[in-house]
A = this chain, B = another copy of it.
């Protein structure tokens, strides 16, 4: 069983490699950046499982996950992260990741999860996926309608009303209507404040 670990935290790498090597049946490789991971996969594929740190250099969030999954003959790739939200975990699993591992997991569970995934299963810690729910599904987001969220997303990308209208295929006055509602709900007095509040709340 061959596993590749890519994480810029040497400590996690060292630990994981040590625990996995102790299993006897597992052969572990480890690198510290996404670029190195890509090189390694190109030279050494296929792996039974690849673990990618969500916050490592070059990773660019889920982009790196998708890139890695597309490599070779369709690699099994799992995300590992200390800070990622439940939303990110869900997006990763939807995108076809082999699993999601929060770094808050005990070493033993972590090793078990890795073996589980290397055998072809999809893994995510139940408590993380459920417990975090209320916290992560931002209270703000619940107050907003679907359209308002779409408009807000455009705003947090620095777009003008006209651009947002074009992108959503609606008229500019409608965008303004949603903006007005958004300001009220977010307690903002202009678009810049609304954008900052949305970012602050971790939306998008």
Given A10-B104, A82-B9, A106-B10, A192 and B15 touching (CB < 8 A)? no
Q: Are B156 and A196 in contact (CB under 8 A)?
A: yes
Within A156-197, the residues touching B (CB, 8 Å) are 156, 158, 160, 188-193, 195-196
- Chain copies in the assembled complex: 2
A: interface residue count bin: 20 to 34
User: Known: A83-B55, A83-B82. Contact between A12 and B196, CB under 8 A?
Assistant: no
Residues of B within 8 Å of A105, CB to CB, are 10-11
Collect the chain B residues with CB atoms within 8 Å of residue A82's CB. 9, 55, 82-83, 103
CA distance A55 to B83 in the complex (A): 9
Given A11-B103, A11-B105, A15-B11, A190 and B110 touching (CB < 8 A)?
A: no
Residues of chain B within 8 A of A158, CB atoms compared: 188-190, 192-193, 196
In this assembly, does A107 line the interface, its C-beta being within 8 Å of a C-beta of chain B? yes
Contact with B along A1-42 (1 / 0, CB 8 A): 000000011111011000000000000000000000000000
Docked pose: A8 CA to B55 CA in angstroms? 18
**In chain A, residues 65-81, which have Cβ atoms closer than 8 Å to a Cβ of chain B?**
none
- Closest chain B residue to A81 by CB distance? B82
Q: Are B104 and A9 in contact (CB under 8 A)?
A: yes
Q: Which residues of B contact A11 (CB under 8 A)?
A: 12, 15, 103-107, 110
> Given known contacts A55-B83, A82-B82, A158-B188, is B106 in contact with A14 (CB within 8 Å)?
yes
7 more A-B residue pairs beyond the given contacts A15-B107, A83-B83, A158-B196, with a C-beta to C-beta distance below 8 A: A9-B103, A11-B15, A11-B103, A156-B196, A158-B193, A191-B192, A195-B195
A–B complex contacts, Cβ < 8 Å, 23 sampled: A8-B104, A10-B106, A11-B15, A11-B104, A11-B106, A11-B110, A14-B106, A14-B108, A15-B107, A55-B82, A155-B192, A158-B188, A158-B189, A158-B190, A158-B192, A158-B193, A158-B196, A160-B190, A191-B192, A192-B192, A195-B196, A196-B199, A199-B199
